[in-house]
Amino acid sequence: MRNLFDDLPHDLPEELTDVLAEGERVRIERIVSTGQASPENFWYDQPQAEWVVLLAGSATLRLEGEPQPLTLQPGDHLLLPAGRRHRVERTSPDEPTVWLCVFFDESARTTE
């Protein structure tokens, strides 16, 4: 058994992504950020839907076309449909930001 909060690194040069489980149509990742943000003018545009929950730290996400960014605190979660362009504008510089992300084919989606 593992714990999502075990061995959290600090002061990483880049985000750390651990694939916790994956199958034919789903992938579950733990991502640890320590102050990282998306590069300037970079947008994620993924072929799979992504459900993400922030477990620790804080982050600011921007969804393309939205006037205001989203500020996420522990427990906040959202569903990003496949192709929904988004970027990370900020993560906590003082503590690890821990994300749990579930990527899946939208044909498998049953609820929002």
> Average pLDDT, stretch 106-112?
62
DSSP 8-state assignment for residue 44: B
Determine the Cα–Cα distance for residues 84 and 64; give it in Å rounded to an integer. Answer: 8
- Whether 39 contacts 94, CB under 8 Å: no
**What pTM value is reported for the model?**
0.89
pLDDT per residue over 42-96, tens digit each? 999 999 999 999 999 999 999 999 999 999 999 999 999 999 999 999 999 999 9
What are residue 15's phi and psi, to 5 degrees? -60, 150
**Local structure of 108: helix, strand or coil:** helix
Burial (CB count within 10 angstroms: exposed 0-12, middle 13-18, buried 19+), residue 103: buried
- Whether 9 contacts 34, CB under 8 Å: yes
Would you state the pLDDT for residue 112? 55
